[in-house]
Structure 1
Amino acid sequence: MSLLKIESISKSFGGVKAVNNVSFDLPRGQLLALLGPNGAGKSTCFNMLNGQLKPDTGSIKLEDIELVGMHPRQIWSEGVGRTFQISATFGSLTVLENMQMVLLSKYKKLFSWWKPAAGYYKQQALDLLEQVGMADQANRACNELAYGDVKRVELAMALAHEPKLLLMDEPTAGMAPKERNLLVALVKKMVIERNLSVLFTEHSMDVVFEHADRMIVFARGELIADGGAEEIRSDSKVRKVYFGSGKSFEVA
Structure 2
Amino acid sequence: MFDFFKKKTIEKKMDIIKTSYEKQQESMVESKSPGKKYIWVEGFKGTQENMCCTVTYPKMCEFSINHERKTEQYELNVPKILEGDPAVGRNGFHFCKDLDDVFRYYPFDFHNRYFKVKALVKKEEYDNRLFAALAAKEIILYEEVFPEYEEVKQDLKCTSKRYHEPYQFTEEDFNGAKEMGKEVYFKNKFIGALVKLGHSHLLSELVVEQCSCDVAYMKHIIDVATALKDEGVSRDTTAYILLGGIHEVK
- TM (normalized to structure 2)? 0.22
Structure number with higher relative contact order (C-alpha < 8 Å, ≥ 6 residues apart)? 1
Greater Rg, structure 1 or structure 2?
Answer: 2
Indicate the structure with greater helix content. 2
